[in-house]
Amino acid sequence: MNILSLGEKIKKLRKEKNMTLKELAGDRITAAQISHIERDKSHTSYELLEYLSERLDVSIDYLLETKEMQSKKITDNLILQSEIYIKRDALDEAEKEIEEIIKICEEYDLSENYGKCNYLLGDIYLKRKDSGKANFYFEKALFHFIKNDDKKRIFQCYMNIANIYFEDKFYQVALTNYYFAKEILDEINVDDPDTYKELYSKISKCYIRMNDTEKALEFIEKIGNIDNEYSPAQEVEMLVLKAKKLLAEANYVESKEYFAKALKIIEKEENKDKLAQVYLTVGSIYGEMGDNEKFLEYSEKVYDIKKNDSDEYMMDSLFNIIKSYIDSNEFELAKKYSKLALAAAIKSKNKYNEFRALKYYCDIYKYKGETDISIEYLIKCIEIVSKLGDDKTLANLYIELGQLYSGVSKEKELECYQKGVSIFKKLEII
């Protein structure tokens, strides 16, 4: 593990063989010359190195190996050991090992291995579900991989960074990094259909989340063009995207036909997430058509299959159910499901969903004519949204609060309107 100079290596080997300076020198040179070499005070000729390698029973390559070469070899081996630790989920041991490797990399300016270490730290924090730190280390790794023009690892960094932003719902930033990854992949010019299919799928999902159906469909079709076939999941996505496109064009009949085809595939695959996604979208079609009964039916189907998962599909289904009951003036049922939504949001510590649940409470009491209670809930909504940094929603809430105060307090009404308008001006909306 020690990184030694030429002189340090010769001295170490001589002592291991219990040789004196004079014995090592033999008839070739003097003991004093050996002493100077061991203290790195004098240079040696290649012929002398051959002589010393024979006397010390080592290869001349070993003696010629510089500190930089040794440090590279040592850190290569330690990085491999760290990768094994990570595969075994021994994350603390891996991190401790990597910290030691980084010290060597910094001392000997091993930029490539420094990048690898940061990449591994990114992996560790991904496993620990700390996306912030994982992203920090992938960004650091990316800098060194770009410096060393390591395109394969540059691609991997962009993919990991994009995946983190996608999971954190920063879809535009994720999309930018997926496109960076695509540029690198095109440069590498690898014949790897599966990698391209995975990348196109990720890009498509970004566009889906950003409600850009046309671009999402474009990349789903690119997947099919690679080998002229789709996986069931990809075929479902394509059908759903086509259905959404038709829905946006108010072509409800054809839209429902595409959703029906997607449902047939999903029900065979038994994929709860995909089934929930399509049920929610089919429900939205009926909602657009004003068929509240069908809107409620499909929302309840989603809740039935996702109520034990407590994910966004379950939350969306609850909010749809609440909306449906409010629209049909069944306020007690709306309150029942609002209570379930609020409890789920608090349990998952999702402040945005907590706001959505409280907002429905506000709406319920507003429609019932109980203005004071509605105001209380709307104030709670404003407290949450002001911390989330969603200024546009906050402005709208202040305007709505002003409307609620219109029959209660003119002073409060004016104050709320002023706050809402002030935020809209700041956003340059008005």
Q: Which helix (H) or strand (E) holds 78?
A: helix 67-87
Tell me the torsion sign for CA atoms 284, 287, 293, 296: positive
The dihedral formed by the CA atoms of 127, 132, 136 and 141, expressed in degrees to the nearest 10: 30
Q: Which residue has the higher pLDDT, 21 or 142?
A: 142
Residue 335: per-residue pLDDT: 94
Q: What is d(CA 157, CA 142) in angstroms, rounded to the nearest whole number?
A: 6
In this predicted model, what pLDDT tens digit does every residue of 296-315 receive, in sequence order?
988 998 899 888 887 888 99
The answer, yes or no, to whether residue 1 has pLDDT greater than 60, is no
The answer, yes or no, to whether residue 127 has pLDDT greater than 80, is yes
Residue 10: per-residue pLDDT: 76
Question: Does residue 348 contact residue 386 with C-beta atoms inside 8 Å?
Answer: no
Residue 363: per-residue pLDDT: 94
Give the SS3 label for residue 124: helix
Average pLDDT over residues 138-158: 93
Q: What CATH class is the domain 6-65?
A: mainly alpha
Residue 418: partners with Cβ closer than 8 Å, 6 or more residues away: none
DSSP count for the chain of H helices, then E strands: 23, 0
Nearest one of 102, 101, 82, 78 to 93, comparing CA atoms: 82
Range with the poorest average pLDDT among 27-41, 106-120, 161-175, 414-428: 27-41
Q: What is d(CA 68, CA 74) in angstroms, rounded to the nearest whole number?
A: 10
Residue 227: per-residue pLDDT: 62
Residue 344: per-residue pLDDT: 93
Residue 21: per-residue pLDDT: 81
Residue 430: per-residue pLDDT: 57
Q: Which CATH architecture has domain 66-148?
A: Alpha Horseshoe (1.25)
Q: Please give the model's pTM, rounded to 2 decimal places.
A: 0.55
Q: What is d(CA 153, CA 79) in angstroms, rounded to the nearest whole number?
A: 15
| Cα angle, residue 173 at apex, residues 225 and 355 outer, rounded to 5° | 115
Going from N- to C-terminal start, the domains of the chain cover 6-65, 66-148
Question: Does residue 251 contact residue 222 with C-beta atoms inside 8 Å?
Answer: no
Using pLDDT thresholds of 50, 70 and 90, give the confidence band for residue 229. Answer: low
The answer, yes or no, to whether residue 157 has pLDDT greater than 60, is yes
In this predicted model, what pLDDT tens digit does every residue of 242-290 receive, in sequence order?
777 776 666 767 777 777 777 777 766 567 787 787 778 778 777 877 7
Written as six digits, the tokens of 55 are: 């006397």
pLDDT, the chain, mean: 86
Rg (CA), the chain: 33
